[in-house]
Structure 1
Amino acid sequence: MDGTAAIQRNLEALKRILVMLVAMAEMGVARPGTEGLSDGGVGAGSTGAGGVGAGGQFTFFPRKGAAASRLARVEKSKLSPALTLPRALYLAILRLLRPAETAARRLIIAAARGIVVTLPPARPRKPKPATLRGPRAFLPKGPKKRPKPTPRTLSLSLLDPPRRPFRVPRRAVPAHAAPRILGLDFNATYRPLPPPPSPDDPIDAARLSQRLAALGAALDDLPGQAKRFARWRARRDAAIARDGAISRRRLSPLRRGRPPGGRLSHYEPGATHPRKIREVDEILAHAHALAVYALDNHDTS
């Protein structure tokens, strides 16, 4: 079974879905001091010239020899992070982004089949300084210079989020449905309850934009991400060989059961599905089958 063609076909489909998600975000981005939809829209962000649209924070960089509408890499611009999206649009993007991230993770695992990497030798640990004794222990120490924090870049996780079977769900009464207990003070100031959440409420989209950028970077560099997964697999095997059964590392990057965010439990080529099954669900089911096959038939020779 050679899954190169299937991986490439699903990769192109995920890129098309990513472009659609970015276009949805471009249409709904709202900055402080603006109302309604942004003026730039999709056209300003998808010009293909590498500029930033007037209404959003995403830029399309088409690859050479490919159409800008199908093969594009999404990067986060250096605009203000105080960009928001309406609640309904934010949740709609999130419902498609999660299965797209899971499918990309499985395509990376499938592409890493047969890749063998050699880990560099472990760095020797620096010995801890001995505790000062005698009169020197009471001498004042100079101020410590804290290094400047480097900006963190979000990368696509190679491991599925673990299940939490013992997590107790939070049961809290929403603020707009709380009981009105004013007490015995009749002169107390009456404070009305906050209104219920509206689909048009602004939601911070900084984290969402980082996830879209991380997904775009992973889809644009699938071979590099496959080598990254091969290094993780080599580190896991080395830890298991060193510690044995007591190793605390995860044994499998995939969690049991249905893939996170997916609506199909298994892949059936040519099968008809109900309307609730989306294109990203079929891509995720196929990518999951490719990843399971790659993990079961990994050649380390």
Structure 2
Amino acid sequence: MPAAMVGGEVPMDGRVAIESNWEALKRILAMLVAMVEMGVGRPGAGGVGAGELHAGGKFTFFPRKGAAASRQVLAEKSKLSPALTLPRHLYLAILRLLRPAEAAARRLIIAAARGIVVTLPPLRPRKPKPAMLRGARAFLPKGPKRRPKPTPRILSLSLLDPPRRLFHVPRRPVPAHAAPRILGLDFRATYRPLPPPPSPNDPIDAARLGQRLAALGAALDDLPGQAQRFARWQARRDAAIAQGSSGASRLRRLTPLRRGRPPGGRLSHYDPAATLPRKIREVDEILAHAHALAVYALDCHDTT
């Protein structure tokens, strides 16, 4: 565990709980990386790299020996190749574990930020542009459009839960292999067979999945830094609330956690003495415990 985390403002029992869950998430992340390596190493999987999780928590890929030079290899520091694919069944299995692991890491960051006080610089007032200048721009000739330079995307774990879509009705379209065959009266038309049903071994693009694994590993590697990052978010939110109506327009979220069960979790609350059913996984217990720690940390921050 990082020394800054042990010496923080988290109580003794909270530090022990955060450290134990932190170690468990590191083991789960290593298992997910091994699953990716197992899928990437198969012939025809679309990638030629082998995933590896270092002690520092960084998710990197290295090319295998004897790989063809024409293929795209996965570079270091989480630069993933767009050609990386995984079988459908393995991709879904990793995703079912990755989502609660991300939610648990997010809650550990919130719990670790308890007691951290940050000072933000004062907000710069927005200067309104003169009306004459805005109107004159409509008559000025437009110059050639310059293409913005693509900035490298920084991988970082989101500190806020994805919002719950209350009025979203999931669509259930008929798959292509089960669609009704409606033929016309033209007997000269060529008959086109229906596509085959999806197979568990179909290749799925896993570039985004690898980026999420890299972001999770980077967050677990720098838990005190992520706690400082969340403390700054809390300070900005509190400052916007204190400004009243002028600062409320800048707010998008009031709380980092959404109501109800955490994303990807199968436990509604944490109870160490309860008998868990067989469908409950280790990551579900970690998520429930981390959720309780995060709720306690947020309650302590709101009451201060």
2:204 aligns to what SS in structure 1? strand
**Structure 2 Cα separation of the partners of residues 83 and 51 of structure 1:** 11
Alignment correspondent of 2:202: 201
Cα distance in structure 2, aligned partners of 1:51 and 1:37: 14
Q: Percent identity?
A: 77
* 2:190 aligned residue: 189
User: 1:94 maps to what in 2?
Assistant: 95
Aligned length: 279
Aligned to 1:35: 44
Match in the other structure for 2:154: 153
Q: 2:291 aligns with which of 288, 292, 297?
A: 288
Structure 1 unaligned segments of length 5 or more: list them.
Answer: 60-74
1:52 maps to 2:62 = yes
Structure 1 residues 299 and 114, CA, compared in 2 at 3 Å: closer, same or farther?
A: farther
Equivalent pair of 1:26/1:41 in contact (CA under 8 Å): yes
Deviations 1:166-211 (A, max 9, x none): 1121121110100011111111111011111100000000110010
- Displacement after TM superposition at 1:144 (Å): 4.0
Give the Cα–Cα distance (whole angstroms) in 1 for the partners of residues 41 and 185 of structure 2.
44
Identify the residue that residue 261 of structure 2 maps to in structure 1: 258
What secondary structure, in the 3-state scheme, does the structure 2 residue paired with 1:192 have?
coil
Partner of 1:66: none
Deviating more after overlay: 203-212 vs 158-167: 158-167
TM-score for both structures, normalised by structure 2: 0.82
Give the residue type in structure 1 aligned to 2:36. A
8 Å CA contact retained: 1:26, 1:57:
no
SS in structure 2 at match of 1:158:
coil
Q: Give the drift of 1:246.
A: 5.5
> In structure 1, how many angstroms separate the alpha carbons of the residues matched to 2:220 and 2:280?
23
Is the CA contact 1:100–1:284 (under 8 Å) kept in the aligned structure 2?
yes
Residue 226 of structure 2 corresponds to: 225
Q: Partner of 1:275: helix, strand, or coil? A: coil
Cα distance, 1:30 vs structure 2: 6.2
CA distance in 2 between counterparts of 1:157 and 1:41 reads 26
Give me the whole-angstrom Cα distance separating, in 1, the residues matched to 2:258 and 2:172.
27
Task: State whether residues 108 and 226 of structure 1, in contact with CA within 8 Å, keep that contact through their aligned partners in structure 2.
Answer: yes
Distance of aligned partners of 1:291 and 1:139 in 2 relative to their CA distance in 1, 3 Å threshold: closer
Counterpart in 1 of 2:37? 26
The change in CA–CA distance for 1:253 and 1:137 in structure 2 (over 3 A counts) is closer
The structure-2 alpha-carbon separation of the partners of 1:16 and 1:128, relative to structure 1 and needing over 3 Å to count, comes to same
Q: C-alpha distance in 2, partners of 1:281/1:157?
A: 19
Per-residue deviation, 1:235: 1.0
Residues 1:137 and 1:146: Cα distance change in structure 2 (over 3 Å): same
Matched AA of 1:176: H
Separation in 2 of the partners of 1:216 and 1:41?
16
